[in-house]
């Protein structure tokens, strides 16, 4: 299972690339989501993530998040891999979430990489690490940075070994996550692509597009497979 920003859209969190609501429509990624941007203007980057963090914490998980949490409890072995950084899968009750792009509700030291507890999210400048004094940064993956090795390893292994792969609410444009559905299809899995729009979605043998919102399609899939549970 691979999820992207579309899964959180019905919780009111803007996606990255949808024309009217996406984050990147307001800011260019290279201005804010790169190590170079943080080196140039750490305070601006800190404030942008602090705003997104406030938004995420104020949002509630939706029916799509809840359906995925329920799916794992219904019996099949589910590996939930997400590109989302908002923590909504965990808040919906998903126990094991493999975060490929980190989590913006956490901060870490920009020098030593250690995750750090902080209550300074409202600061207008990126706060110092309590241990070494370097700036804190959000615990997310920026363009040009490597993904967390363990999460990526789990994702690749699950894609190559699963019987069914669902890609939900992702534009499938950012590697290496974008390759996961095709790895699964090449290994013989049945791949369902759940998205509001057919735009940009690849097709091929064993790829089954399902048009609709995550909050509608995922509960319906569960209801079809496990009626009245």
Q: How far apart are CA 215 and CA 41, in angstroms?
A: 37
* Least distance to ligand OAD, CB of residue 229, Å: 23
- Nearer Cβ to ligand OAD (132/173): 173
- The H or E element containing residue 178 is none
* Least distance to ligand OAD, CB of residue 130, Å: 26
- Nearer Cβ to ligand OAD (133/146): 146
Q: How far apart are CA 114 and CA 116, in angstroms?
A: 6
Show which residues are catalytic: 101
Give me 151's structure tokens: 């999460």
- Nearer Cβ to ligand OAD (164/173): 173
Angle at 203 between CA 202 and CA 209, to 5 degrees: 95
Give me 167's structure tokens: 């890609």
State residue 107 phi and psi, 5-degree precision: -120, 155
Give me 125's structure tokens: 């400048």
* Least distance to ligand OAD, CB of residue 61, Å: 13
* Least distance to ligand OAD, CB of residue 133, Å: 27
Q: Residue 113 to residues 83, 116, 148: CA-CA distances in angstroms?
A: 20, 9, 12
Q: Which residues bind ligand OAD (CB under 6 A)?
A: 4-6, 9-10, 15-18, 22, 29, 33, 83, 101, 141, 169-171, 173-174, 194-197, 213-214
- Nearer Cβ to ligand OAD (79/103): 103
């Amino acid at each position: 299972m691979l999820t992207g920003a579309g899964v959180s859209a019905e919780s009111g969190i803007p996606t990255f690339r949808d024309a009217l609501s996406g984050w990147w429509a307001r800011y260019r990624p290279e201005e804010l989501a790169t190590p170079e941007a943080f080196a140039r203007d750490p305070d601006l980057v800190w404030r942008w993530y602090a705003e997104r963090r406030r938004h995420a914490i104020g949002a509630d998980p939706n029916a799509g998040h809840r359906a995925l949490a329920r799916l794992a409890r219904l019996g099949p072995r589910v590996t939930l891999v997400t590109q989302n950084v908002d923590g909504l899968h965990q808040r919906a009750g998903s126990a094991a979430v493999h975060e490929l792009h980190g989590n913006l509700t956490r901060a870490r030291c920009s020098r030593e990489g250690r995750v750090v507890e902080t209550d300074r999210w409202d600061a207008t400048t990126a706060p110092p690490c309590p241990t070494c004094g370097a700036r804190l940064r959000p615990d997310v993956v920026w363009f040009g940075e490597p993904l967390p090795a363990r999460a990526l390893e789990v994702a690749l292994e699950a894609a190559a070994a699963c019987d069914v792969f669902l890609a939900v609410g992702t534009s499938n444009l950012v590697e290496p996550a974008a390759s996961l559905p095709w790895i699964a299809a090449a290994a013989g899995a049945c791949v369902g692509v759940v998205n509001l729009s057919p735009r940009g979605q690849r097709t091929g043998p064993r790829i089954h597009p399902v048009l609709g919102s995550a909050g509608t399609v995922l509960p319906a899939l569960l209801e079809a497979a496990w009626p009245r549970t």
